[in-house]
C-alpha cells in the first residue's frame, strides 16, 4: 500500500484534543492503517498574528485509497471537527488535515497538490516529518533534514513524545 504523510494542525477548541481525536479518526479510515504519529508541536501562526498558537503534528498512513479519495476522507474528518472553509487564508481553525506526501508521487490537480505546496517552508511540518523518518527524501530529491536546517523558525516547541 502507498505510504502517505498527513499534516495535522489546530488552534481552536482545545487544539491538543482536536489532534488526538484526528489521530483516532485517521486510525479508523477504511483501507488504511495508521503506522506512526509524531509528537505534538506548538508554533506561532503563519498568517495573522492575532490568533492563538497552533498545535501541529504529522501522521504516517498506509492506504489503499486513491489520492482524491483520501483527500475526501480527510476533509470529511475536518468537517466533523467543525472546520469551516473561509476565503481567509491562514486563519484560525479547529482542524486542518493536509495530504503532505502520497508515496513518491507528484500530483498537480485543481483540488490537490502533492507534495504539499508549502511543505519545504514550514518547520512545523518538516520537524515532525524528520521525527518520523529522519532520512526522508522528497520526490524532488531534497532531504527533509536539509530543508529543516534552511527553514524559517515559527518558534516550534515540542509538547509531548509520540504515543506508540
pLDDT (tens digit, 9 = 90+) per residue, 110-161?
999 999 988 998 999 999 999 999 999 999 999 999 999 998 887 899 997 6
Domain membership of residue 69 (yes or no) is: yes
- Residue ranges making up the domain that contains 66: 3-158
Domain count, the chain: 1
Q: Is residue 164 part of a domain?
A: no
**Percent of residues, the chain, with pLDDT higher than 90:** 76
Is residue 154 in a domain?
Answer: yes
Specify if 163 maps to a domain: no
Cell numbers given for 76: 470529511
Q: Are strands 113-114 and 96-102 parallel, antiparallel or unpaired?
A: unpaired
Distance (Å) of CA 39 to CA 49, 70, 128, 158: 24, 23, 7, 7
Q: Say if residues 96 and 54 touch (Cβ distance below 8 Å).
A: no
- Looking at the predicted structure, is the pLDDT value of residue 47 above 80? no
Distance CA(10)–CA(15), nearest Å, equals 5
Which of 83, 108, 122, 158 is flagged as catalytic?
83
Catalytic-labelled residue, pool 37, 42, 98, 122: 98
Query: The pTM is what?
Result: 0.92
Active site residue 98: yes
Q: What is the CATH number of the domain that holds 47?
A: 3.30.70.560
Amino acid at each position: 500500500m502507498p505510504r502517505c504523510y498527513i499534516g495535522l494542525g489546530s488552534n481552536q477548541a482545545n487544539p491538543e484534543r482536536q489532534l488526538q481525536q484526528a489521530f483516532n479518526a485517521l486510525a479508523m479510515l477504511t483501507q488504511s492503517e495508521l503506522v506512526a504519529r509524531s509528537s505534538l508541536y506548538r508554533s506561532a501562526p503563519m498568517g495573522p498574528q492575532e490568533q492563538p498558537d497552533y498545535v501541529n503534528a504529522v501522521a504516517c498512513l498506509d492506504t489503499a485509497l486513491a489520492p482524491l479519495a483520501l483527500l475526501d476522507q480527510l476533509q470529511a474528518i475536518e468537517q466533523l471537527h467543525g472546520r469551516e472553509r473561509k476565503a481567509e487564508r491562514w486563519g484560525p481553525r479547529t482542524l486542518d488535515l493536509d495530504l503532505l506526501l502520497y508515496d513518491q508521487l507528484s500530483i498537480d490537480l485543481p483540488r490537490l497538490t502533492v507534495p504539499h505546496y508549502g511543505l519545504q517552508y514550514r518547520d512545523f511540518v518538516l520537524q515532525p516529518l524528520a521525527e518520523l523518518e529522519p532520512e526522508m527524501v522528497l520526490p524532488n530529491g531534497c532531504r527533509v533534514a536539509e530543508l529543516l536546517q534552511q527553514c524559517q523558525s515559527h518558534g516550534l516547541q515540542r509538547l509531548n513524545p509520540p504515543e506508540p
